[in-house]
Chains A and B, each alone.
Chain A
């Protein structure tokens, strides 16, 4: 084959490759890239009650700084994020260790373990709404059996965030566990054998050897969960819509309500762009952490 013919086929190949990714790229630009740019523009607009829009400069952002609901929403978002993440990582690692030592895991058991995070979060919300009902729910009955005082759960301004964190952790702890289990299974068995020969206790082995080797996997699980936790929506919207009062009004819920209940699209855009910046910031921070614990 001559040189010109070779470059000709190469050029044709490049063109064909571009044509193959074109539909996905065009779709993503049309449905994501362009709308996000449009949101940036909307963030500089103000919408009157009649739906008329006009340029407002940075008014939405200066409003955000002095908006009590924004800071409250940020606090709720971070509280829910930290609480859920800690619960899911701690119990996820525990569950992974239990599953790892069970050796043989039949498919049916695996299916049962994935069932919480494969069901729609909305269904999880409906289900827990009934279980956690303050007067007739099964949860309070079980508390009573153990002589514990009943709780108002989702109806309590103080307990609503821990309760939502508990529901989300019920859903996603098995997911974290299966990721960590994958990490455990890929560790070289030789490190355990060496520790055993040295006479290290199981706890010491875990603390000094297993945990440090698992850290990159755990951080990966943390990244995947953080992205969902910082934009928490479904379970709260189906159970409390941000209530009681504003006790579970996370930034995502607040932004949604500003946009689609009060139709203040401009201010909602400013809120959502801020939340997006927070999510990307958290991912970047975790990525650095993953680099630091890599081995």
Chain B
């Protein structure tokens, strides 16, 4: 009996050790990035690297002084909020209709964007947007990023709509409610948390998306992610400012993701896994 208890304790201890090792490997690079962003410029590139230093905000000040960081951030916000709103506007009714009618091809059609390489769409978009003079416009960026947000909204909301008992709708129908009314007045309030999760995931993935803005934005509409090259250029000697930029760019998605961490994985697999 004591033998078994000993083995049990031994296994538990071994598991904790592995958990700590995994945690350190996962966290260390990010912690290093954040630490470096607060280091005085001469200590960022110190070798051997230093762990103890007097923290400073110099790098952040330098970043806003030498690059139009804030206007890039504003561009990112416009494109991300715009494409998330568009994704919700188109995605909510579509998810409801797919869930109700069980006709799933509209949902599957949007998945094509999740599978095909982005360049496949970017080539024709570039030719088309150039013809109508829309390269560099917020509209082109928002439309292209909505291709990312729409499938997220639809596939995160589908299980939520599926979870509403049919009898709720049937009762409303008997009362003479139109389908559209049932969606907005009855179904939507019932899946409010699902809508919140889908909005946050759509926001995160639109914010993080690199490829489209690389080609479709110009100097005035460049998003933070597409401007990363500028920071690396600046940062070839200024690691501190580069790490400050990296920290600030990563902050919004990380904070938002922490809010929905519980529902995140099932949402990210677009319905392939119920977590």
Q: Show the binding face of A for B, using Cβ within 8 Å.
A: 13-14, 16-21, 23-25, 27-29, 31-33, 35-36, 38-39, 42, 94-95, 98-99, 101-102, 107, 109-116, 118-123, 125-131, 135-136, 138, 141, 170, 174-175, 178-179, 181-183, 186, 202, 217, 220-221, 223-224, 227, 230-231, 233-234, 237-238, 252, 255-256, 259-260, 265, 268-269, 272-273, 275-276, 279-280, 283
Contact = CB atoms under 8 A, between A and B. Distances in A.
Contacts, number: 266
Q: Interface range on chain B: under 10, 10 to 19, 20 to 34, or 35 or more?
A: 35 or more
A31 B215 contact: no
8 contacts: A20-B179, A35-B121, A36-B124, A109-B23, A141-B47, A181-B275, A233-B211, A237-B210
A233 B246 contact: no
Given A24-B91, A35-B125, A265-B127, A122 B228 contact: yes
A42 B123 contact: yes
A27 B90 contact: yes
Contacts of B207: 120
Contacts of B94: 20-21, 23-25
A238 B124 contact: no
By secondary structure, the B interface counts as: helix
A70 to B, nearest CB: 14
B242 A25 contact: no
Nearest to B179: A16
A72 B148 CA distance: 30
Contacts of B56: none
A223 B272 contact: yes
A118 B239 CA distance: 23
Contact of B257 (A114, A125, A223, A224): A114
Given A21-B98, A23-B94, A32-B109, A256 B232 contact: no
B36 A20 contact: no
A259 B154 contact: no
B118 interface: yes
Contacts of A223: 272
